[in-house]
């Protein structure tokens, strides 16, 4: 069980002084679903990107902590007591990913020439390797020499502990079936020419394969038709139910929350969490918009 904790987080755009986050406090635990709602420009996406380590933002105050448990990554990696809490702001995006943070993008990049299979297996192995480095560094392990490609060079070599091509194919196939994705996806280039819905489905697929402790899903429901919304929602629920992932679901609409029922709902206004509550809060927002929150919190409309 992992816990992500944002304390008094302030952030601005790195090459300007536009303040975007002005003291965000938030906690998400494994197994929980949190919905983060709010009008455009309130800082929802920035919060997501800052958690994942996007270089466009400068953190001026506050902290982003990730607390892990002893056996967070299964029995094979035992985490020492002094390595159970990490300040994510000190870490590179890939290190955060290795610690179990996943960001589902609203607009995922399209990478031509890189097949889904190749990408996902590379990512999975990179994560395993990075994890080893993060947790075994102190034991003074010497860095392994890159000895070049020894087996299948196009796919990279298979080191001990890595997921091989055949093994990975099986994992991928299974997860794609769960998400009702066409098997042709495996050989398509990463997001290239994907429809909006396919991209979102792909984000959930990646989360399912990388098995994060905490997944931040940035408007994963935007641009989805009702069928696809249901598929994606099932995928998200499976993340929580089967892998115990904690979900921070950023959304504008109540719609997805009909399928992915949140434990907690937060309303963001002007770079802060203005109000938190249960699922009923989302319904109220759907009916009444955000102005009443503003009124409620600041006394102005």
Partner 1 sequence: MSSEQDHLKDTDTEARFEFKKEQNAAVKSDKGLTEEVIRMISEDKDEPDWMLERRLRALEQYQNMPMPTDWPGMPDLSGLDVEEIVPYIRPDVDKREGVDDWTELPDEIKDTFDKLGIPEAEKNALSGVGAQYESEVVYQNMQEQWEEKGVIFMNMDRAVQEHPELVKEHFMTTCVPPSDNKFAALHGAVWSGGSFVYVPEGVTVEMPVQAYFRMNSEGMGQFEHTLIIAEEGSEVHYIEGCSAPKYGTHNLHSGGVEVFVGEDAHVQYSTVQNWSKNTYNLNTKRAIVESGGTMEWVSGSMGSKATMLYPCSILKGRGATDTHITIAFAGEGQDIDTGAKVYHNAPETSSTIESKSISKDGGRTNYRGLVHIADGAENSSTAVECDALMFDNESTSDTMPYMEIEESKVDVAHEATVGKIGDEDIFYLQSRGLDDDDAKKMIVAGFIEPITEELPIEYAVELNRLIELEMEGSLG
Q: Does 112 bind partner 1 (CB under 8 A)?
A: yes
Q: Does 246 bind partner 1 (CB under 8 A)?
A: no
Angle (CA) 124-36-19 rounded to 5° is 95
Q: Is 127 in the site for partner 1 (CB under 8 A)?
A: yes
In the region spanning residues 207 to 236, those forming contacts with partner 1, defined by CB under 8 A, are: 210
Mapped to the 3 state alphabet, what secondary structure does 198-218 carry?
HHHHHHHHHHHHHCCCEEEEE
Binding of partner 1 by 23 (CB under 8 A): no
Q: Which two tokens stand for residue 26?
A: 């938030």
CA–CA dist 107, 85 (Å, integer): 30
Q: Which of residues 136-175 bind partner 1 (CB under 8 A)?
A: 148-149, 153-154
Binding residue (CB under 8 A) for partner 1 from 7, 27, 65, 119: 119
CA 69 to mean position of chain CA atoms: 19
Q: Whole-number minimum distance, CB 300 to partner 1, in Å? A: 36
From the list 97, 247, 248, 293, which residue makes contact with partner 1 (rule: CB under 8 A)? 97
CB closer to partner 1, 86 vs 274: 86
Check binding of 92 to partner 1 (CB under 8 A): yes
Among 206, 209, 210, which residue's Cα sits nearest to residue 220? Answer: 206
Which of 5, 130, 234, 283 binds partner 1 (CB under 8 A)? It is 130
Cα separation, 71 vs 209, whole angstroms: 19
Spatial distance between the Cα atoms of 285 and 296, rounded to a whole number of angstroms: 13
Site for partner 1 in 43-62 (CB under 8 A): 52-56
Min. distance of Cβ 109 from partner 1 in angstroms? 4
With contacts defined by CB under 8 A, how many residues of the chain interact with partner 1?
35
Q: Does residue 193 interact with partner 1 by CB under 8 A?
A: no
How many whole angstroms separate alpha carbon 139 and alpha carbon 123?
Answer: 25
Q: Which of 201, 261, 207 is nearest to 227 (CA)?
A: 201
The closest alpha carbon to 180, from 221, 217, 222, 229, belongs to 229
Which residues are at the interface with partner 1 (CB under 8 A)? Answer: 52-56, 92-94, 96-98, 102-103, 105, 108-109, 111-114, 119, 122-124, 126-127, 130, 148-149, 153-154, 189-190, 206, 210
């Amino acid at each position: 069980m992992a816990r992500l904790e944002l304390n008094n987080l302030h952030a601005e755009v790195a090459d300007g002084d536009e303040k975007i986050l002005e003291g965000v406090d938030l906690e998400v635990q494994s197994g929980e679903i949190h919905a983060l709602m709010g009008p455009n420009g309130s800082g929802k996406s920035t919060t997501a990107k800052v958690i994942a380590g996007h270089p466009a933002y400068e953190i001026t105050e506050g902290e982003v902590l990730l607390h892990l448990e002893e056996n967070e990554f299964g029995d094979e990696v035992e985490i020492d007591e002094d390595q159970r809490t990490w300040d994510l702001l000190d870490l590179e995006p890939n290190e955060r990913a290795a610690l179990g943070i996943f960001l589902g993008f609203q607009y995922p990049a399209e990478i031509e020439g890189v097949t889904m299979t190749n990408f996902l297996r590379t990512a999975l192995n990179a994560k395993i390797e990075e994890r080893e480095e993060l947790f075994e560094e102190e034991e003074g392990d010497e860095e392994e020499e890159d000895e070049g490609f020894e087996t299948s060079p196009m796919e990279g070599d298979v080191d001990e502990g890595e997921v091989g091509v055949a093994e990975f194919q099986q994992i991928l196939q299974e997860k794609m079936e769960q998400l009702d994705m066409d098997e042709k996806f495996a050989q398509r280039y990463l997001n290239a020419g994907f429809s909006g819905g396919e991209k979102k489905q792909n984000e959930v697929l990646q989360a399912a394969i990388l098995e994060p402790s905490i997944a931040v899903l940035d408007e994963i429901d935007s641009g989805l038709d009702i069928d696809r919304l249901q598929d994606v929602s099932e995928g998200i629920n499976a993340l929580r139910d089967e892998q115990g992932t904690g979900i921070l679901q950023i959304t504008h609409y109540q719609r997805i929350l009909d399928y992915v029922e949140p434990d907690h709902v937060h309303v963001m206004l002007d770079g802060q969490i203005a109000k938190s509550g249960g699922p009923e809060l989302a319904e109220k927002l759907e009916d009444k918009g955000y102005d009443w929150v503003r009124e409620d919190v600041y006394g102005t409309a």
